[in-house]
Structure 1
Amino acid sequence: MAEKKTSKEKKDPKISTNPKKMSSFFAWDGDTLILNILGTPGAKHDVIGKIKGNQLKISVTEAPRAGKATDYMVRFLAKEFDVATADIAVVFGRMNINKQLRIKAPKKLPSVIARLQ
């Protein structure tokens, strides 16, 4: 009897999701966008900022309390990428400023990503 493959087994083995090994702040795994984020909670405005090393700076107005800033960031990015919040998975960093997100089939790309395509 064949076993079901987990989502980890379906990933392209050529794509490194280790933030230190990624050559950019983003990578594609099929139609899924992998983003390395440097989050800034408690900011004055919600904004997708500049690239810093292999991370994209994203500021949100929500205060950093028990992962609420990350949840707010997911809702903010869902609008920016024109996807449902359920299409964004926080791989790691829910309670940290360093995060990795997987965005399934984004319909829209912010200019900082689009110009690098």
Structure 2
Amino acid sequence: MKRSREKARRSLPLHSPPPSSSSKQGNNGDSTSAPTITMRERDEVMRNCGAKFINLISSESNEVCSREEKRTIAPEHVLKALEVLGFGEYIEEVYAAYEQHKLETLHRDGELIFILIPA
């Protein structure tokens, strides 16, 4: 478990955005305000963070699956991966989303039926 947490720390580095030319500079060259970034840069940072998070969870889910000698990642493997990586606070919400997904994609007589449940 310790190895997985260390891997999580290495896989999700915290990058600060590059300073913008519009940042104010103090007398000694230190920035006196937070650097500004464009909306496009912000969106790119968020996409990259999301992709790294998903990759991390997927990789750990695959390891959990392999340890159980299974060939297909099941929802239980994802929940275990969240726990192993220290994201236990997400398990309840992820499980609820999984249960909601099962309700929305029930099969009846070979047809896919969508059930609308108000949020």
TM-score (norm 2): 0.27
Higher relative contact order (CA closer than 8 Å, sequence separation 6+): 1
User: Which structure has more helix as a fraction of its residues?
Assistant: 2
Flag the structure with larger Rg: 2
TM-score (norm 1): 0.27
